[in-house]
Structure formats: structure tokens, C-alpha cells
Amino acid sequence: MSTLLEVKNLHAIYGQTRALHGVSFSLEEGGITTLLGANGAGKTTTLRSVCNMVRTEGEISFAGARIDGKATEEIVRLGVAHVPEGRGTFVHLTVEENLKLGSYTRKDKAEIQADMELVFRYFPRLKERLAQQAGTLSGGEQQMLAISRALMLKPRLMLLDEPSFGLAPLVVQEIFRIMRRINQEEKVSMLLVEQNAALALDLADHAYVLETGRVVMSGLADEVKNDEGVRRSYLGY
């Protein structure tokens, strides 16, 4: 397996303050890596850094090429689909329009249509809601739409920022099951930020633990799960 995303000595700067202090991690092609940590640890900032949505210093390479300093939309065009915190759907547009925007950068019309069908296989509920305004969907449906929109990009890497946020446990389970299928069936690598550490460690193969902008621990998800400190701080038993 080759390295798809490599981050070296990443610093993120908001105005006068630094939110990350030299974070390094890498992600294998086809894998799922999760970033864990408490509120304010820098998980979301790390994700935003990959897409150049905050000012950064350090090196970020995607598929062997440096992407730090590139415009967000150009990074997206390389196949990096970011499902942001709060889902970031276009609430005034219809579900169909949201999905079409997902494939905005692609020119392969026939395949786009096929991917639309693919999305409906994963999330049949969206098909019933095609003409509905995205803002009128339930929280779970909006998260499904956000993931579907990301899928319509035909990405190599999906960045997922707290997909479980604000959703009922059953819905979360459903969404995580489908994320696993997308990873396996569509060969989409994933970088997952989650508050729900147990859930994230079940899905991921690698994990990094962040504390106040630094990586304090990393390893295979199973190892991290069995670590005494992680168990106490993040798993709560």
C-alpha cells in the first residue's frame, strides 16, 4: 500500500494564535484514519488545513505531490472531498442540485449518472427527496446528503468532520455502516474526525490522538483502543 496523504510538521495559524504545533501523520491509500481528541485539540483545524481553509505552515502531500498553499477548490479537484463540520449542504437548493454540484468538476456525463444511481443505492431515502430543499431534510438525511455529495466528486480521499454530530444513535450506526461500505466498495480513503472515539476506532484502521495541537499518540486503531490512557480519557470505561 502506498501513502496517499502525508502531513509533516503542520502548523495552523488563526490570526495571532497557533492552533497546531507541528502535527505529522500519514494515511495509507484505501485506509481509514481517525483523529481523536477533546474539544479544541485541533482535529477540525487539521482537516481544514488539508484543504487549505486555514493559514498553515508545514508540508502536506497528496498522492506524492505537495498541495499546501494550493487554493481549496484546486485541492478538491485533485479528488479530496471534504464533508465539513455542520455538513455544509446548500440548504436553499434541492437535493438533486446538491448532488449535481458534487460532480460539478467532472466531465464524464455517463459516469456521473451511474454515480448518482450508486448514491441512491447507498442512501435510498435521498431518491425520494430529490426535489426537496436540502434545508428541509432531517439531520440524518442532511448528513447522508453531505456524504453523497462528497461521493459524487468520485474522490480518492474523503475528509469527514464529525459525521455523528447531533444525530440519533441508530442513524449514526447506519451512516457509519455505509461509510465502511463506501471505503471498501468504492476504494475511497477516509480521514475521520470524531468525538465519539469508540465508534471511530471501530471503523478506522489507524488512529492519531491530538492534544492541544500536538499528536500525543498514534498507532493501529486496535492498539490505540486498548491503551489505558485513551480508554480512560476518550472511551470512558
Contact set with another protein (CB under 8 A): 51, 53, 71-73, 76-77, 81-82, 84, 88-93, 97, 100-102, 104-105, 149, 153
Instruction: Read off φ and ψ for residue 6, nearest 5 degrees.
Output: -130, 125
Given the complex with another protein, which of 161 and 207 has the nearer CB atom? 161
Q: Least separation, in Å, of the C-beta of 77 and another protein?
A: 5
User: Cell 459516469 identifies what position?
Assistant: 111
Q: What minimum distance in Å lies between the beta carbon of 30 and another protein?
A: 22
Do 1 and 29 contact (CB within 8 A), yes or no?
A: yes
Q: Helices in 124-168 by DSSP H: which ranges? A: 124-128, 139-151
Q: How far is the CB of 140 from another protein (least distance, A)?
A: 19
Smallest separation (angstroms) from another protein to the CB of 49:
14
As a dihedral over the C-alpha atoms of residue 75, residue 38, residue 215, residue 165, rounded to 10 degrees, the angle is: -30
The nearer residue to another protein, 69 or 229, going by C-beta atoms, is: 69
Q: Around Cβ 23, how many Cβ atoms within 10 Å?
A: 24
For another protein, give the closer residue by CB, 78 or 217.
78
Q: Minimum distance between the CB of residue 53 and another protein, rounded to whole angstroms? A: 7
Determine the angle formed by the axes of helices 169-185 and 109-122, rounding to 10 degrees.
140
Q: Which is nearer to another protein, 21 or 77 (CB)?
A: 77
Nearer to another protein, 149 or 225 (CB): 149
Buried b / exposed e over 170-179, threshold 16 CB at 10 Å, is ebbebbbebb
Q: Which of 229, 194, 152 is nearest to 46 (CA)?
A: 194
Smallest distance from another protein to CB 83, Å: 8
Distances (CA, A) of 226 to 65, 109, 147, 193, 232: 35, 47, 30, 19, 10
Among residues 5 and 153, whose Cβ is nearest to another protein?
153
